[in-house]
């Protein structure tokens, strides 16, 4: 696939990352020569797209002050926590790869 096609797909996945499962992120690397087993860079770009989207959503939404005096954006907490757990699982899965740099 062309780089533009890959980039578009990564962006669309990033927009829905909170709906993904661990298996959805385990993209095998096609180059086996001393490369990590999984395409870590692709997942990083997908996460970057998710974070950019989340930042723009936070900027566009209104925040309210919680009981502890801190401002909380309720719209972004749940997806962020879901993605955080997903990325934690992903890192645990790919960490044993001896070719990971």
Grouped pLDDT means (10 residues each) for the chain, 101 residues: 93 96 93 81 96 75 57 69 97 92 74
**Phi and psi for 3 in degrees, rounded to 5?**
-60, -35
**Tally of CA atoms within 13 A in the half-sphere of 48 that contains its CB:** 8
pLDDT at 54: 77
Structure-token match 């993904």, residue found:
20
Q: What pLDDT does residue 48 have?
A: 97
Q: What is the structure's pLDDT at 58?
A: 60
In this prediction, residue 47 carries a pLDDT of: 97
Q: What local confidence, expressed as pLDDT, does residue 7 receive? A: 95
């Amino acid at each position: 696939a062309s780089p533009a096609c890959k980039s578009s797909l990564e962006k669309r996945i990033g927009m829905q990352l909170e709906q993904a499962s661990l298996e959805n992120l385990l993209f095998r690397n096609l180059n086996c020569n001393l490369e990590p087993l999984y395409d870590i860079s692709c997942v990083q770009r997908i996460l970057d797209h998710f974070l950019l989207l989340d930042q723009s959503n936070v900027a566009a939404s209104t925040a309210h002050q919680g009981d502890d005096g801190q401002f909380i954006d309720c719209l972004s907490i749940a997806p962020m926590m879901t993605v955080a757990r997903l990325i934690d699982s992903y890192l645990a899965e790919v960490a044993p790869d001896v070719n990971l740099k």
